[in-house]
């Protein structure tokens, strides 16, 4: 085992205001080394990190969320890796609660309970997410989003961990990597965590949900905030669903759930034509990226160990 038990990778893209609150909480986690990913920041991120004694990974050119995290994963070596967004604020015992679950047989990642926040130290009394779910329509969602904070208090399996704060075995990340990258950089950010979770399930890695591990999170894209998100961001999220289906769908899964998927596609197209025509470009974007997705598909499917992942698997309320 490496000398540092957990590498915490805290990413900032001009988020110094949040780093000032999230970094001290990350540094308080026992047996962990914090790397602040300075994603070509023009604010005080690097100065705050250096003053606090954190390791700084300075990226001279601004990268996507996926590419920046991939770069940080490649420059660290602990057997546990915590992906952490700057707007996520950890409880003091956060890692202590997650770690035992990570080393249960077959577990590759652990999802904490994230609570909605309007700012650091400003909880809203609601769940942000109790892990990720991918349903039979191949629509991903945040489990429990908006539910009272005391709900979803039972540990158990779930489909995947939200990238805002997700603990992984490095072995699982390496096993899931394609061309050395755990996160698909074509996704840029949205649904990349779902894509990774789906791939991990296909390769036999399971995710555990641990509700006693708590953190506050300021969510910028969710069912409750989607109307405020730019058309470009919504189009990216829309196209990424097709990319992850191209990469990860199986013949058995398509045979079982084809009717659900087709029905949803008809409804989605109708919604786009009637309500959000700006999303039409998502079909074009997905087509443009399809060749690379299909190349990655061959790498995923050649190593597949599970016939059909547990679609709809979610933490219990």
Q: Which fold has domain 6-217?
A: Spore Coat Polysaccharide Biosynthesis Protein SpsA; Chain A (3.90.550)
CA atoms within 13 A on the CB side of 304: 20
Between CA 81 and CA 94, with CA 57 as vertex, the angle to 5 degrees is 35
**Nearest by Cα to 87 from 53, 40, 122, 112:** 122
**What angle, 0 to 180 degrees and rounded to 10, lies between the N-to-C axes of helices 231-248 and 192-202?**
10
191, 240 contact by CB (below 8 A):
yes
The residue among 196, 198, 174, 31 whose CA lies nearest residue 98 is 31
Q: In the predicted model, what is the mean pLDDT of the chain?
A: 95
- Between 106 and 224, whose confidence is greater? 106
Going by the DSSP 8-state scheme, the letter that residue 30 receives in this structure is: T
pTM of the model: 0.96
Query: DSSP assignment, residue 227?
Result: G
Specify the residue for token string 């979803």: 152
Domain residue extents for the chain:
6-217, 226-302
Residue 282's Cβ-side half-sphere holds a number of Cα atoms within 13 Å equal to 24
Is the pLDDT at 224 greater than 90? The verdict is no
3-state secondary structure of 255: helix
- Smallest Cα–Cα separation from 86: which of 177, 163, 182? 163
Q: Which stretch of 161-165, 171-175, 217-221, 298-302 has the lowest confidence by average pLDDT? A: 217-221
Cα–Cα distance, 72 to 84 (Å, whole number): 12
Percent of the chain with pLDDT over 90: 94
pLDDT of residue 4: 61
Helix, strand, coil percentages for the chain (3-state, nearest 5): 40, 25, 35
> Are 94 and 214 in contact, with CB atoms under 8 Å apart?
yes
The per-residue pLDDT for 268 is: 96
Q: What's the CA gap between 278 and 281, in Å, rounded? A: 7
Give the residue with greater pLDDT, 177 vs 317.
Answer: 177
Pairing between strand 80-85 and 165-169? antiparallel
- Sort strands 206-217 and 88-90 into parallel, antiparallel or unpaired: antiparallel
């Amino acid at each position: 085992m490496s000398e540092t038990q957990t590498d915490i990778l805290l990413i900032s893209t001009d988020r110094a205001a949040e780093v000032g609150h999230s970094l001290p909480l990350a540094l308080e986690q026992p047996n962990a080394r914090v790397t602040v990913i300075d994603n070509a920041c023009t604010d005080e991120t690097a100065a705050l990190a250096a003053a606090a004694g954190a390791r700084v990974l300075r990226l001279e050119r601004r990268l996507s969320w996926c590419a920046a995290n991939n770069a940080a994963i490649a420059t660290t070596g602990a057997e546990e890796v915590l992906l952490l967004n700057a707007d996520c604020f950890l409880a003091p015992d956060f890692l202590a609660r997650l770690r035992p679950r990570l080393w249960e047989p077959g577990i590759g990642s652990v999802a904490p309970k994230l609570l909605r926040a309007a700012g650091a130290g400003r909880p809203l009394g609601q769940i942000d997410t109790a892990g990720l779910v991918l349903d039979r329509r191949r629509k991903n969602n945040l489990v429990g989003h908006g539910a009272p904070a005391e709900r979803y208090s039972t540990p158990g399996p779930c489909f995947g961990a939200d990238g805002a704060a997700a603990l992984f075995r490095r072995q699982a990340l390496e096993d899931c990597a394609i061309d050395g990258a755990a996160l698909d950089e074509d996704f840029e950010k949205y649904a990349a965590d779902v894509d990774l979770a789906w791939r991990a399930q296909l390769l036999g890695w399971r995710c555990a949900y641990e509700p006693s591990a708590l953190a506050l999170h300021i969510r910028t894209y969710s069912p409750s905030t989607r109307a405020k998100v730019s058309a470009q961001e919504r189009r990216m999220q829309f196209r990424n669903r097709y990319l992850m289906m191209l990469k990860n769908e199986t013949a058995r899964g398509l045979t079982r759930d084809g009717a659900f998927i087709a029905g949803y596609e008809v409804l989605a197209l109708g919604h786009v034509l009637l309500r959000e025509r700006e999303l039409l470009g998502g079909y074009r974007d997905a087509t443009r990226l399809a060749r690379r997705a299909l190349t990655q598909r061959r790498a995923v499917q050649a190593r597949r160990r599970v016939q059909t992942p547990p679609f709809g698997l979610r933490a219990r309320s």
